[in-house]
């Protein structure tokens, strides 16, 4: 049994601002509340190899991993997968940006499977992601909208 999540939010900002801010990996420690580190390791053509680290958990453990992310500005989509999978057998994320009358609909689809012996199974990880992803999406929405307003005011 594999895990799957599908979450989205509408951001009231120009698509170029949403795209630029959410694809600036180095700023993810400011854009997301969960990351303590976001470091580019290597650029490979259109793809970016990078390391993320979470803030320490309740036991003081810092979880980190490397991912490979490939943005496609023509289709306004991004495909990413973990290179260092940690407790996951695999983890793939698809980001999609669609302009609507209300703003940019940013969607994250996550497909994964946990390794046997991982601290949590597929269902528990799906539930965890479905609790945390909307929180992160709302933070991003608030920060991107604030940046768009500040830019428009200049």
3-33 per-position pLDDT tens digit: 999 999 999 999 999 999 999 999 999 999 9
Separation between Cα atoms, residue 30 and residue 127, nearest integer Å: 25
Give the chain's residues under pLDDT 70.
1, 154
pLDDT of residue 153: 78
93: closest CA among 105, 104, 78, 115? 78
Torsion angle in degrees (nearest 10) through CA of 5, 63, 27, 32: 50
92: closest CA among 63, 117, 68? 68
Where do the domains of the chain lie, and which CATH numbers do they carry? 3-34+70-153 (3.30.530.20)
Sign of CA dihedral 117, 125, 89, 2: positive
Contact (CB, 8 A) for 124 and 5: no
- Tell me the whole-structure pTM to 2 decimals: 0.93
Burial class (CB in 10 A: 0-12, 13-18, 19+), 26: exposed
């Amino acid at each position: 049994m594999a895990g799957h999540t599908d979450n989205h939010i509408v951001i009231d900002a120009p698509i170029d601002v949403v795209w630029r801010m959410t694809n600036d990996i180095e700023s993810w420690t400011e854009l997301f509340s969960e990351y303590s580190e976001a470091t580019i390791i290597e650029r490979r053509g259109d793809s970016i190899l990078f390391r993320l680290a979470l803030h320490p958990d309740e036991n003081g453990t810092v979880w980190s991993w490397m991912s490979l992310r490939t943005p496609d500005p023509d289709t306004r989509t991004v495909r990413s997968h973990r290179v260092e999978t940690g407790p996951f057998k695999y983890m793939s994320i698809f980001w999609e940006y669609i302009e609507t009358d209300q703003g940019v609909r940013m969607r994250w689809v996550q497909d994964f499977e946990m390794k046997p012996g991982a601290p949590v199974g597929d269902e528990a990880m799906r539930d965890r992601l479905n609790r945390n992803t909307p929180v992160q999406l709302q933070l991003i929405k608030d920060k991107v909208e604030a940046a768009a307003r500040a830019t428009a005011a200049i």
